[in-house]
Structure 1
């Protein structure tokens, strides 16, 4: 392996080599069993005599950190060496980061792990994904061997394919030049925030709503205010007058699931026009619809260029692909592209090119049709099973990958081993938090749902009725 050693001055060069190799072993950078370069080779690279390196090696062998094998070379000792912890340091992050933590890996917002009955929210069924077709398309792009940097806006063919797809499926008015490819919806929100949010600015979000968006805007220095959501969606009359950016999920409110009424959509656009504000429309899983006629997106109703439309393939395909996009008014396009460039320049172009072909060959539309049938059956099974449950009140929903149910007054939820279900209060930023459950059905198969719902029923408890006071004797 290539070992980095730096020599300075004319002092004891053997001691310098010894110390730096020892630090590498203690730090864990040189792991047990790894082979060090031959003394002749390292001496040549360091421009020192071979004996200078050999003495350092011999000292490390004598101390038990290296072991010499006749005819094979010198290796780091097979005995486990405890790596030294990095210094804790005294530098502190900005105050806002003291209160922002994020779940890792596949953890849910409450930080718990996956369970046998996995009702996680926002996770599609990976078994539905046409992996063989995807592998063929990705392999084709990798064989092309195209290198170099690309357009920060993303692969041109993918931008064209997305513009056609959302134009047909969602009535979004956009050309390829209006589309910017991102690493998921979260990066789209980050780019918008970088371009539009001034420190201390007021940003309005739904309450309850999507926690990562709320945390992202806070991290950028915004004052985030929750706006109540009712049966028609965001209560426009409750938006703070100081807000200049409003984040909404109008097609399938997250997490309640209710769509924003046409009247509320019109009112929100009118409000944005009066207040010189911008609306972020997050259309995260509206492809999966089970009955109701879809309402027009805010973007297609917008005549003043105040709506930024954000989409993602994390729900329709797989989260690991990290593919999303935004459609912005032309006045914001150059700034958003520049923000993308200075953020990470561009995404993975072979993956983007593969997705372009995936869309153009009709595979995305076919996959959505198949997945919609599967998710519709799971949605119906959960809704039918819980419809007679007095302790829960389902929130009407006809789309997406989850259902929300409010808890009846006095009902509590007792955690059950094997049951992975999320609480509504995990999506609330205001106090007091709303009480309920958010039940996902992307990660759980149809056959497991009945058993999971039975366990869910057993987790719902009424608090013990207090004994009446005893009369004094």
Structure 2
């Protein structure tokens, strides 16, 4: 019996396109294995089609694709040949050295050596992860209407847009920032970005050189810290207390990063004297300040705190806002409010990175804000999260009592629970036991410049915006049991 030239294909196929791909893959493997040497002729398309049980059209299309990729040479009236220039790879000897790894840039090595931050959450039954929202809170109908309106208004010509963002969205954000945050700015000051993380990335690219110093809060936002470290910056962590970051003795630096309206993770508000001191420091040293106003919409029982940028007279503050805590972190919509001197260079950098943020989502957000639906949604979700916060605080008091000290309850979507009597060294043990019980708990130690501190208590950053009251109660009950197991 004659052996099929391509035995892998000697079986039925489901569809022409699938068969064509298998023909292509099989011939490439045969050429690589040396079955067909460079310059040798292949069987005719008619013969192969009959042998494989395929249509001649399918085999011909496969040959044409292989010729287009440079594997075969074809000409009318003649059988296809394997391209003469193909070189069969030599097998590596047994003692051959391992392949040389790709050489990274200095930036790449800094990124590779950074502490990993998991980006895929574990599927805990009860999860107190901060930064997640309840899917039921998303304004589905209003967003659908806004998207539909944006799609039906599509222009006659589809083209790349303004890297700064849609003019209608920047105008809508200008009005919203005045109404919600008491902040005056021009629409041209606003740059729409793909979430706050792209805002950090643009700031590090444009404002920092390797070796420059950056003032940060300690403890503080970990992804901002890693962005600065990856840029090669030298970090100068400053302690945080009940009045926010201490600013009395700041060193000379190119940049400062702060969360003044609701410090992450301690929840304190930067006091007026320290705000003035920070702005004076920036003007004195010619430094920039990144103000991350990540969850300013959520104030519980107290009025909104004006942003640091509203006090800035020297053009030192870059304001960073986001809809990740009001609409959804999956939308990746954020914005920078820039000093006039930085508008043009940031727009150029944004264009270099990704041209512009997707315009359909921008148009939908602009429609949502202009119609008033966004602010109605913010009021509704603020009320709903206030109820979750109240349920969490009540449950913590009733179940844990004096075993915990709660901080940062006046604003935001998380609280900080210090575990009295449990040293910081046992914080990781608590989280491991919680994970085994399908409970997501997140320690505060990893947000400090010095994660290990024998004088510090264990602490938990407890997010509640993705949970209902029953889940909150069940999660704290499970935490109660774990603390009892640890003797606390």
**Range of TM-score over shorter length:** 0.7 to 0.9
Q: 1:345 to 1:454 in 2, by over 3 A?
A: same
**TM superposition shift of 1:429:** 2.3
Which of 344, 351, 368 lines up with 1:358 in the alignment?
368
Specify the alignment match of 1:444 in structure 2: 467
**TM superposition shift of 1:11:** 3.9
In structure 2, the residue corresponding to 1:115 is in which secondary structure? Answer: coil
Specify the alignment match of 2:74 in structure 1: 48
Which of 174, 188, 192 lines up with 2:185 in the alignment?
174
Which of 278, 281, 301 lines up with 1:291 in the alignment?
301
Specify the alignment match of 1:335 in structure 2: 345
Specify the alignment match of 1:420 in structure 2: 440
Specify the alignment match of 2:130 in structure 1: 121
Which of 90, 96, 99 lines up with 2:110 in the alignment?
96
Post-superposition Cα deviations, 1:418-460, rounded to whole Å, max 9, x if no partner, equal 2112100121222435531000001111221111111112222
What stretches of structure 1 of length at least 5 have no aligned partner?
Answer: 16-34, 57-86, 108-112, 466-473
Query: 8 Å contact 2:40–2:82 — kept in the other structure?
Result: no
Specify the alignment match of 2:7 in structure 1: none
Q: 1:361 to 1:452 in 2, by over 3 A?
A: same
Specify the alignment match of 2:34 in structure 1: none
Q: 1:90 to 1:43 in 2, by over 3 A?
A: closer
Query: 8 Å contact 1:42–1:53 — kept in the other structure?
Result: no
Q: 1:402 to 1:14 in 2, by over 3 A?
A: farther
Query: 8 Å contact 1:106–1:114 — kept in the other structure?
Result: no
TM-score (norm 1): 0.80
Specify the alignment match of 2:411 in structure 1: 399
Distance in 1 between residues matched to 2:81 and 2:154, nearest whole Å = 44
Post-superposition Cα deviations, 1:134-193, rounded to whole Å, max 9, x if no partner, equal 122213323444421000001110000011101110011212111000000110111111
In structure 2, the residue corresponding to 1:251 is in which secondary structure? Answer: coil
Distance in 1 between residues matched to 2:213 and 2:82, nearest whole Å = 65
Q: 1:90 to 1:306 in 2, by over 3 A?
A: closer
What stretches of structure 2 of length at least 5 have no aligned partner?
Answer: 1-16, 32-36, 43-54, 68-72, 84-98
In structure 1, the residue corresponding to 2:217 is in which secondary structure? Answer: strand
**TM superposition shift of 1:215:** 0.3
Question: What RMSD, in angstroms, separates the aligned Cα atoms of the two structures?
Answer: 3.0
Distance in 2 between residues matched to 1:279 and 1:36, nearest whole Å = 68
Which of 377, 400, 404 lines up with 1:367 in the alignment?
377
In structure 2, the residue corresponding to 1:321 is in which secondary structure? Answer: coil
Aligned length: 411
Query: 8 Å contact 1:173–1:299 — kept in the other structure?
Result: no
Query: 8 Å contact 1:43–1:52 — kept in the other structure?
Result: no
**TM superposition shift of 1:238:** 4.3
Specify the alignment match of 1:68 in structure 2: none
Specify the alignment match of 1:12 in structure 2: 39
Q: 1:464 to 1:300 in 2, by over 3 A?
A: closer
Distance in 2 between residues matched to 1:170 and 1:423, nearest whole Å = 31
**TM superposition shift of 1:54:** 10
Post-superposition Cα deviations, 1:8-63, rounded to whole Å, max 9, x if no partner, equal xx942657xxxxxxxxxxxxxxxxxxx9982223445636158746999xxxxxxx
Post-superposition Cα deviations, 1:274-322, rounded to whole Å, max 9, x if no partner, equal 2221111000011011111222210001111101000001111011110
Matches within 5 A, 1:95-174: 95-107=109-121, 113-146=122-155, 147-174=158-185
